[in-house]
Amino acid sequence: MAQQAYVAETDDGGSGPERRGARFRRLVSRGVSGWRGDPRIWRRGLVLAAVAVLLALVMLLHAQIPNRIGNLGSLTETFLPWIGVFVPVLLLLALVRRSATALIAVVLTGAVWVNLFGGLLFDKSERGAGASGDLTVATHNVNADNVDPSGTAHDVAASGADVVALEELSTAAAPVYVRTLADTYRYHSVQGTVGLWSKYPMTGVKAVDIKLGWTRAMRATVDTPEGAVAFYVAHLPSVRVKLEAGFTARQRDTSADALGEAIAKEPLPRKILLGDLNGTMNDRSLNGVTSQLRSTQGAAGNGFGFSWPAAFPMARIDQIMVKDVEPVTSWTLPRTSSDHLPVAARVKLDTDS
């Protein structure tokens, strides 16, 4: 009889899933009633709420963070999307602390992040009939210390790109890329440490002065079946994060301004920029370029398209940007022997169709 009484007390009269569901509902009910009946929910978690508000302000006012001290503004803008990582952590802590103040602050911070970056989470590439585009382009910083330049060249060519830009070409490796890509690309030009390979004729090839004292940028006209397109290839100087100096990017910023001036003087209306800009689209120091061109990843990508470092991509510093050209889709290519990921895009040149 004692055993029967015990069964009667513990059996809620349902199957296993039903019993688990009933227990979950009871826990939620207790949690809600606990929040509802606790007057301290507004006084707890004020520090968490302050942290959430600070993150929201950084996202909303990042353009006001000064660059005078260690280029702090540019450093913040480079990794701005990663602030979103803190939102679920703060949300969990707010729930554990049972703080309504912190919970509201975290939800608002999450809303700010979604407003700024939520659009990048969706696939914006065109689909269906008529969305095939006219031209596939790719760019890759191949790394001067690449141990397998031939394999890297084969990997990039396998993307099917009609036009390929390569950056950080060493004197020793450049001939390897030229030989390996010769069967796929009939036309090419190497200017300093950058090069452009094309399946279509190239004219008007010249180096572009980006104020470095050596050549890390070039320009060419590619005569595609849809008409002439001005292509620019650039590898802006690297930036460094140092404890004593902060985010050192003065040389990169000067080169970005010079590249922007060259693009502004370009007579052809259709322009495509390929290269390693050592900066993201959020970085104000690249305004000389980003104010004229738009990113194919932002217009037709699927996700953030981070390209560096290849082992664990944290930022999109390798860019494909266009003007008077319609992006159809944009993506990152599989990892090669470089420390960057190659990036590619399909574009529509006949924008009137």
Is 251 part of any domain? Answer: yes
Bond prior to 88 in cis (omega within 30° of 0): no
Is 105 in the same domain as 168? no
Is 207 part of any domain? Answer: yes
CA 283, chain centre distance (Å): 12
Is the Cα torsion angle 212, 215, 216, 217 positive or negative in sign? Answer: positive
Per-residue CA distances from 301 to 10, 62, 120, 196, 331 (Å)? 55, 24, 7, 23, 6
Is 353 part of any domain? Answer: no
- Residues 347, 319 contacting (CB under 8 angstroms): no
Is 162 in the same domain as 284? yes
* pLDDT value for 67: 84
Is 187 part of any domain? Answer: yes
Is 115 part of any domain? Answer: yes
Q: Which domain holds residue 187?
A: 124-348
Is 306 part of any domain? Answer: yes
Is 100 in the same domain as 166? no
Is 116 in the same domain as 137? no
Is 101 in the same domain as 153? no
Domain count, the chain: 2
pLDDT tens profile 223-236? 999 999 999 999 99
Confidence class of residue 108 from pLDDT cuts 50, 70 and 90? very high
Confidence class of residue 30 from pLDDT cuts 50, 70 and 90? low
Is 277 in the same domain as 230? yes
pLDDT tens profile 54-91? 999 999 999 999 988 778 888 899 999 999 999 999 99
- Residues 270, 230 contacting (CB under 8 angstroms): yes
